[in-house]
Amino acid sequence: MELRLLRYFVAVAEERHFGRAAARLHMTQPPLSRAIQQLENDLGVVLLLRSAAGVEPTAAGSTLYAEARTLLDQAERVRARVTAAAGPATLTVGTLADGAGEAGTRLAAAFRRRHPEVSIRFREADFTDPTTGLRAGLADVALTRSPFDETGISVRVLRSDPVGLVLRTGDPLAGRESIELADVADRPWFQLPDETDPLWRAYWNGAAPVGERPAGPVVRTVSECLQAVLWNGTAGIAPLGHVLPDGLTWVPLADLPPSPLVVAWVTGRESPLIRSFARIAVESHR
């Protein structure tokens, strides 16, 4: 059995759906279906029960899933040992400024267990580059937020966080359970630099065209955004989970889509270590 086929099978078994598994593997559904059929033919058993709603592993499929995960984990450990024998390895992880904590202690602990020999470096980027330096080769893998231009970038979503408006605690809107963008349409809105990724800029501008709302100060980091709200009353939005300074509060926005936290890397440039980091990131957020 090829490890490639086992990876495909594990993805389908975990997603319970060929379409979702194909998207996770960054491939189309027909070759994935053919690969699973080849695996079933090689083993001479039915591994998955297909239906319009998705797939369910058979008893043989459940057994193969457990064994496949063990084999794939062992293969990763073999790669890690071989890499270690070649000398110390370093992985540079790009994050947005003020966002390194979003990696989470579970991810750090899981990666250290799997790759204790690897040195991790963090590179913080500002809002102008949500890919955190991937395209320029300044980072090997990124923990960041979408949406952004994904041309040539592979992305896996780790979780999606509600987005809310950051307000002064004494603001008339601060006591609401939720608000809508129209409630702050007349307020100055923080601005992102002109060179910012257009998709990213549009999302954090509250999905409104640039210039439609009164312009607030230009910000490049979460910290600058929060200070603009605290000192100037500027309208600013942030995903749930950011630690707010005294004097600020967070109110959910009912009409803005959640903010996806993602792991990303340059397509075709991934090493076994990058693939392992991405897989551990997904597992630690599952």
Per mean pLDDT, which range of 91-95, 126-130, 212-216, 253-257 is the poorest?
Answer: 212-216
* Cβ atoms of 142 and 134 closer than 8 Å: yes
Above 80 in pLDDT, residue 52? yes
Question: Taking 90 as the threshold, does the pLDDT of residue 46 lie above it?
Answer: yes
Domains in the chain with CATH codes: 3-86 (1.10.10.10), 89-157 (3.40.190.10), 163-257 (3.40.190.10)
Whether 13 and 65 have beta carbons less than 8 Å apart is answered as yes
> Is 115:140 a contact under the CB 8 Å cutoff?
no
- Contact residues for 254 (Cβ-Cβ < 8 A; gap 6+): 178, 179, 180
Higher pLDDT, 266 or 190: 266
Instruction: Kindly report, residue by residue over 77-124, the tens digit of the pLDDT.
Output: 887 677 666 655 889 999 987 665 666 788 888 999 989 888 899 999
Give pLDDT, residue 17.
Answer: 92
Lowest mean pLDDT among 86-100, 140-154, 265-279: 86-100
pLDDT(3) > 90: no
> Whole-angstrom Cα distance, residue 282 to residue 261?
11
The Cα 158–Cα 263 span in angstroms is: 7
**68/230 Cα distance (integer angstroms):** 52
**Using CB atoms within 10 A of its CB, is residue 49 exposed (0-12), middle (13-18) or buried (19+)?**
exposed
C-alpha span between 84 and 212 (Å, rounded): 54
CB 248 within 8 A of CB 168: yes
Question: Could you tell me the pLDDT band of residue 38, with boundaries at 50, 70 and 90?
Answer: very high
218-242 confidence digits (pLDDT tens): 888 888 888 888 888 887 888 887 7
Q: What stretches of 133-271 show up as alpha helix (H) in DSSP?
A: 198-204, 222-232
Percent of the chain with pLDDT over 70: 93
DSSP state of 242: P
Query: Which segments within the chain are labelled E, that is strand?
Result: 48-51, 54-57, 89-96, 118-125, 141-145, 153-161, 163-168, 189-191, 215-218, 236-239, 248-252, 259-266
Long-range interactions of 73-81: CB distance < 8 A, separation 24+: 75/3, 76/114, 76/272, 76/276, 76/279, 77/114, 79/272, 79/273, 79/276, 80/114, 80/115, 80/117, 80/118, 80/273, 80/276
Integer Cα distance of 104 and 100 in angstroms: 8
Please provide the average confidence, as pLDDT, over all residues in the chain. 87
Element (H, E) at 34: helix 29-43
Maximum distance among all alpha carbons in the chain? 69
Which residue, among 108, 118, 139, has the nearest Cα to 270 in the 3D structure? 139
Q: Rg (Cα) of the chain, in Å, rounded?
A: 22
Whole-number pLDDT of residue 225? 86
- In a 13 Å sphere around the CA of 278, the CA atoms on its Cβ side amount to 22
pLDDT at 142: 95
